[in-house]
Structure 1
Amino acid sequence: MKINTNQNVIHQITVPTPFLVGDVNVFAVQGKQNILIDTGPDTPEAVEALTEGLKEIGLALEDIDILILTHHHPDHIGLAYMFESTAITAGHRKLQPWLEKDMEHYSRIHDFFQEFLTENGMDKRWIDKIQSQRDHYVKYSRPVQLNCILKEGDQCPGMPGWNVIETPGHAQSHIALMQQEDNVMIAGDHIIGHISSNAIIEAPYKEEKSRPKTLLQYRTSLKKCTEASKVFAGHGKSVDDPGALITKRLNEQDSKAEMFLRKLGNEKKSVFELCREVYPEIHRKQPDLTFSETLGHLDLMEAEGRTAAKKKNGVYLYEKI
């Protein structure tokens, strides 16, 4: 698929993944320098699709000069190692420990979630399942050095007229790219047309004292993108009216928060207890995502002064206020 914008011709390459989200879109920009945005996971099928996709537009792997990664999830960074010897790898600073597979970082995350999930009502069986899932996802990428740090307002390397927007929420390392002239965006997983991106709970980074409130971050990041004229997403079709979709997503979150409040009722419940009530079947397959969804909306209601949590017998219990 070829995408024409006012200043650039961008090629979309669809790469398969072994994950429930399905195929991932990566983007190749040809010019004085050849840019690749995201890669797909480290699987033989993804290697073949990416290699063939580049070949169709006249490029080999070694022709890529700059690799820009929107965030640290393995379906977006898994094949970065294929470009390490020939391309500059660029991304947000919070991408670095994930991309380089910093074992201290992984250990700190493991320890955080052992305590955090226990304090929020999850028993060992489910905690072990989530930790096992995390260990499994890590296998779909290999360690790569991050050569270029990108931050809010930077010009995208090799892409004149495109700026970096920091968009944390779905991932703490998330960035999107916006063309100045016509506000076209390459948005990674920040804005997806057919599904709502999950504001995944993350552990605090080494320099941070508390966990990020990811749904609150995500809402702020969405509001930064209301002027986008068109969005090319990391999954699915492009979004032709991002402003309307953003409004819809924010309204859906508000409605879901009301639903969680009704489920909470006049009782005191832990995050995982409420999660199991709201997602009686789905939580068995996706305990991490359903837990994130539940906690995110409790964070939102807490920020609005509608709920509060108190610790009892080592577990935080939420109630209406």
Structure 2
Amino acid sequence: MLIKGLSTLQKIEKIELSTNFPIGPVNVYVLFGEKLTLIDTGLNRELAWKELNNGLLKLGLNLNDIEQIVLTHHHNDHTAMIDWILEENPSIQVFAHQDTEMILKDEDYLEWSSQFFEKLFLEFGLTKEMAYKWAYRKGDRDRYDYLNVNRTLSDGDFVPGLPNWKVIETLGHSQDHISLYNEKEQLFICGDNIIQGIHAGIFLDAPKRGKERSKPLLQYLDNLEKCRKLNVQLTFSGHGPNIENLNEAIDSQLGNIENRAQRVIRTLEKANGVASGFEIIQEMYRGRYENAVITFVFEIVAVLDLLQKRNVVVAEKANGVYQYRLVNYKTTSNKIV
């Protein structure tokens, strides 16, 4: 799509690629800068591969015309097809956050990540069998044989070959998430940081060895306020439609987060003010959590981080499992005071 009043060098085209995820298609973008750039790559599925090539063909292009790729974050619906693309055109330069390649390919980090999550899941109240199963799912992860990040991007950098496009670090959805902002044209490419009409997906990534884990929802809230200060007319998201009112979309996300926090509080109230994280999930997502345990664990860990920061909840460890207790909860009134 050519935005009205936009210079030829800033032309942006969206290509929707199929996924097998509930969220539906993923959006990748072709930017016509000084260098022809692809933003994200899609999931490595035959249908998505055909859609990408057909989408480029409609623009009068093919994969050999792509000069560089910018990855917004490491999740496989945004990265997994990169090996297929690089096998077709190995001259493409790849730009990403400084931690993207480590998260995807570093075997020592991946082994540590599994160990980290097994411990976290056990402390959250999962059984040993469940903790092991979900922590070591990366045994079936995508393999990236061709991916090599040629240049890392940090907050405040400008993307080579894309005049006026500035990198904004937007952690929360992942620990390597970046967005791109063009102040001159008032355009924003936000990956999965903000998706119209869908509540924010907050995911945990293992920290580097010896470091404390991140608190992604707290990061996300900070980054929403950072995005609110941008002068943006149009936002291009990793899924769904373009966002025409960024602040309205941010307010919607904040409302969703508050609603989720209140649901956790009400769930704890029903449990007489104290429960493990897994007990909270079992109550909140009864009949739904079994096939997506890891998603709900990440979601509730993040909300509990927020409630602890607000001094609404405290965590107390008993027999290796954290119990989350409402502060000043009175069982006689079933209210927080």
Q: Please state which band the TM-score falls in when normalised by the shorter chain.
A: over 0.9
Q: Please tell me whether the aligned partners of residues 3 and 12 of structure 1 are also in contact (alpha carbons under 8 angstroms).
A: no
SS in 1 for 2:227: coil
Equivalent-residue separation in structure 1 for 2:174 and 2:61 (angstroms): 30
CA shift for structure 1 position 251: 2.3
Q: Which residue of 1 aligns with 2:256?
A: 252
Q: Which residue of 1 aligns with 2:169?
A: 166
98, 108, 113: which one aligns with 2:112: 108
Amino acid at match of 1:318: Y
The alignment-based identity, stated in percent, is 33
TM-score normalised according to structure 1 size? 0.94
SS in 1 for 2:274: coil
SS in 1 for 2:168: strand
Q: Are 1:187 and 2:190 matched, yes or no? A: yes
277, 283, 292: which one aligns with 1:286: 292
SS in 1 for 2:57: helix
Q: Deviations over 1:21-52 (max 9, x none)?
A: 21100000124311000000112112111111
Amino acid at match of 2:40: D
Equivalent-residue separation in structure 2 for 1:11 and 1:20 (angstroms): 24
Equivalent-residue separation in structure 1 for 2:290 and 2:31 (angstroms): 41
Q: Are 1:318 and 2:321 matched, yes or no? A: no
Q: 1:166 to 1:12 in 2, by over 3 A?
A: same
Number of residue pairs matched? 318
CA shift for structure 1 position 124: 2.8
Equivalent-residue separation in structure 2 for 1:279 and 1:316 (angstroms): 19
Q: 1:272 to 1:246 in 2, by over 3 A?
A: same
Q: Please tell me whether the aligned partners of residues 71 and 79 of structure 2 are also in contact (alpha carbons under 8 angstroms).
A: yes
SS in 1 for 2:99: helix
Q: Deviations over 1:35-91 (max 9, x none)?
A: 000000112112111111112112221211110000000111112222361111001
Q: Please tell me whether the aligned partners of residues 231 and 242 of structure 1 are also in contact (alpha carbons under 8 angstroms).
A: yes
Q: Which residue of 1 aligns with 2:237?
A: 233
Equivalent-residue separation in structure 1 for 2:3 and 2:139 (angstroms): 36
Radius of gyration: which is bigger? 2
42, 46, 49: which one aligns with 2:48: 46
Q: Which residue of 1 aligns with 2:213?
A: 211
Q: Are 1:264 and 2:273 matched, yes or no? A: no
Question: How do residues 147-162 of structure 1 correspond to structure 2 at under 5 angstroms?
Answer: 147-162=150-165
Q: Are 1:98 and 2:103 matched, yes or no? A: yes
TM-score normalised according to structure 2 size? 0.89
CA shift for structure 1 position 4: 5.0
Q: Please tell me whether the aligned partners of residues 82 and 147 of structure 2 are also in contact (alpha carbons under 8 angstroms).
A: yes
Q: Please tell me whether the aligned partners of residues 41 and 140 of structure 1 are also in contact (alpha carbons under 8 angstroms).
A: no
Greater Cα offset, 73-82 or 127-136? 127-136
Amino acid at match of 1:150: L
Equivalent-residue separation in structure 2 for 1:187 and 1:71 (angstroms): 10
